[in-house]
Structure 1
Amino acid sequence: MKLMVLACLASVAVAAPQHLDERDARHIAVLRDDRTDDGQGNYQYEFETENGISKSVVGRPGSAGGNVVEGFYTFTFPDGTVAEVRFTADENGFVAESPLIPETPAHSLQQIQTAEEQRRQGVTWDGQGRRLTR
């Protein structure tokens, strides 16, 4: 779950519009944009821009009726460091891997284990976080 939230935040940060002064605004050229789709749920796309952003994704039908998607994206920090995030998305959810994503703290793992145990016991909660069942 934490990885999904962090990956979403990273994607939003990378995709967020930059509020640039008109003097700093410039067109970023797409160097490569390759796409294939067989119409049966199998697809692939890759693109690369001149400012160091690239993405590569392969998708195929999954066994549970959804899609299985694997890929990676890269971007360059202002200091020139290249960041890479690899990901998969399937019937088990979205999982991102990168040195940019910190390890899950022990107290968070404990909270997740507690929530799983409560779920197994049938404990339910309302939308405000109040326990409905004992």
Structure 2
Amino acid sequence: MKFIILSCLLAVSFAQQSAEIIHDDRVDNGDGSFSYSFSADNGLEMEVAGVPGSEGQSNMRGYYLLPLESGGFARVEFVADEAGFQPQSDLLPTPHPLPEHVHELLRIAERQRAEGITFD
């Protein structure tokens, strides 16, 4: 679903700018695997390859470029498979690092589990 939303956002961004497609390559291998790529003269581009997944879905891997307000583009690489849509980009927020005391508590809990200690 997130992939569809991002594709729509990319399409809206693309529609707001006048651009000419300079590369459009699509391959359907007939066995559920496919690939496509395109690029426009304004710098937008996307490339995706897919194969059939174990649960009937298409497993995809690829990237797309998003225009930045400051100029230039940000690259978003992604995998979409049984685990869902998994984007990776410097644009995406990341969680704050855990404080050191949390790491220490996790080490203690791991040691206790290894020793067979359990809590109800």
Q: TM-score range by the shorter chain?
A: 0.5 to 0.7
What's the counterpart of residue 15 of structure 1?
11
- Does the Cα contact within 8 Å between 2:66 and 2:76 map onto a contact in 1? no
What's the counterpart of residue 72 of structure 2?
81
Shift of 1:12: 4.2
Query: Scaled by the length of structure 2, what TM-score is found?
Result: 0.66
Alignment of 1:44-63 (within 5 A): 44-63=35-54
Per-residue CA deviation, residues 32-83 of structure 1 (Å, 9 max, x unaligned), is 0001001110100000001111000000011222211000001332432221
Amino acid at match of 1:49: A
What's the counterpart of residue 90 of structure 1?
81
Greater strand share, 1 or 2?
2
Identity rate of aligned residues, in percent?
A: 34
Q: How large is the RMSD of aligned CA atoms in angstroms?
A: 2.8
Shift of 1:15: 2.6
Gaps of 5+ in 2: 98-120
What's the counterpart of residue 93 of structure 2?
102
Gaps of 5+ in 1: 21-25, 107-134
Per-residue CA deviation, residues 3-34 of structure 1 (Å, 9 max, x unaligned), is x86x76654443326896xxxxx741101000
